């Protein structure tokens, strides 16, 4: 049966609140996800939180009931609390009525099965967790297998990244690696590396993209390092017709990924 916690001093509340910080997530190997839609999608993917916190007004919602049953059935715990505590846990003034605490999955590169999808997204040194979450969401939309984060990126399990992913954190495979390790792994099997770049690049609509395709985008302000782009099998650019010299990293990823997917759909 669910229990009720309304004290900020409760040890579990303090523990869960620490997950808003990267240090706390690394220590606990746990992360937060909020919102009934995201938690329901996670449940449908077979991912159930260790703890689910919910406000009293959500207690009668059938999806909340299903979530509580799934959590308790898996040996987790359902906790009813109030909006003030949910706000402290999520860091938002107007928190969602449901919040879950999930195990952080392993992100080793060798856990990626490249044959399970024809399209993968690779991102290098992204600093904005919102961009990472949005790219995960785009990957889900275009049927990509997942996202491989290269070098020092923002934490994909931060509250901001998980929120921006709109549940795709649970549908997309996620791996992290240094560039030399990624390149060695990539060249050990099938895979065509496509880099978004400017120098020596062709219009993104002109090539024929083979499978499996690894679409690589770079840092928001610097783009890809020159040697990273040079190591790609193909370099493509999206034409800019206005005064802006580049697109947001997540937007550029979506434009290029849909061009690749649409080519395959037409073909």
CA–CA distance, 66 with 191 (Å, rounded to integer): 41
CA–CA distance, 119 with 46 (Å, rounded to integer): 23
Pairing of strands 234-237, 192-196: parallel
Distance of CA 33 to the CA centre of its chain: 11
Please tell me which residue, 158 or 220, carries the higher pLDDT value.
158
CA–CA distance, 238 with 256 (Å, rounded to integer): 8
Q: Nearest to residue 137, comparing CAs of 47, 250, 40, 42?
A: 250
Which domains are delineated in the chain?
3-103 (3.30.1330.30), 109-266 (3.40.1280.10)
Say what the pLDDT of residue 150 is: 98
Selection from 2-11, 164-173, 217-226 with the highest mean pLDDT: 164-173
Say what the pLDDT of residue 20 is: 94
**Helices within the chain (DSSP H only):** 11-17, 22-28, 36-44, 62-73, 83-90, 129-142, 159-165, 179-187, 226-230, 249-266
Report the interhelical angle of 129-142 vs 249-266 (nearest 10°). 10
Q: Nearest to residue 79, comparing CAs of 62, 58, 61, 93?
A: 58
pLDDT bracket for residue 8 (50, 70, 90): confident
Number of Cβ atoms within 10 Å of the Cβ of 199: 11
Mean per-residue pLDDT, 205-228: 94
Go through the chain and tell me how many residues it has. Answer: 267
Task: Give backbone dihedrals phi and psi of 85, rounded to 5 degrees, phi first.
Answer: -70, -40
Mean per-residue pLDDT, 49-60: 88
Cα dihedral across residues 91, 96, 97, 101: positive or negative? negative
Tokens coding 189? 């099997």
Q: Nearest to residue 33, comparing CAs of 173, 225, 161, 217?
A: 161
């Amino acid at each position: 049966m669910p229990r009720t916690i309304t004290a900020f001093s409760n040890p579990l509340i303090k523990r869960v609140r620490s997950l808003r910080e990267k240090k706390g997530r690394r220590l606990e190997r746990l992360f937060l996800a909020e919102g009934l839609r995201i938690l329901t999608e996670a449940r449908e993917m077979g991912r159930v939180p260790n703890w689910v916190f919910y406000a009293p007004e959500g207690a009668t919602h059938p999806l909340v009931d299903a979530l509580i049953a799934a959590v308790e059935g898996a040996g987790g715990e359902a906790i009813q609390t109030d909006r003030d505590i949910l706000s402290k846990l999520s860091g938002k003034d107007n928190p969602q009525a449901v919040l879950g605490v999930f195990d952080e999955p392993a992100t080793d590169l060798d856990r990626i099965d490249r044959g399970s999808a024809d399209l993968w997204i690779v991102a290098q040194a992204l600093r904005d967790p919102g961009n990472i979450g949005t790219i995960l969401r785009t990957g889900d939309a275009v049927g990509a297998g997942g996202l491989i984060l290269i070098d020092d990126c923002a934490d994909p399990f931060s509250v901001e990244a998980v929120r921006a992913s709109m549940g795709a954190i649970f549908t997309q495979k996620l791996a992290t690696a240094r560039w030399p390790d990624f390149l060695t792994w990539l060249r050990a099997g099938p895979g065509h590396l496509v880099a978004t770049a400017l120098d020596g690049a062709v219009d993104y609509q002109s090539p024929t993209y083979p499978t499996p395709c690894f679409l690589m985008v770079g840092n928001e302000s610097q783009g890809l390092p020159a040697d990273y782009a040079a190591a790609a099998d193909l370099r493509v650019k999206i034409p800019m017709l206005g005064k802006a010299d580049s697109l947001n990293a997540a937007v550029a990823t979506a434009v290029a990924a849909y061009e690749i997917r649409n080519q395959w759909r037409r073909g």
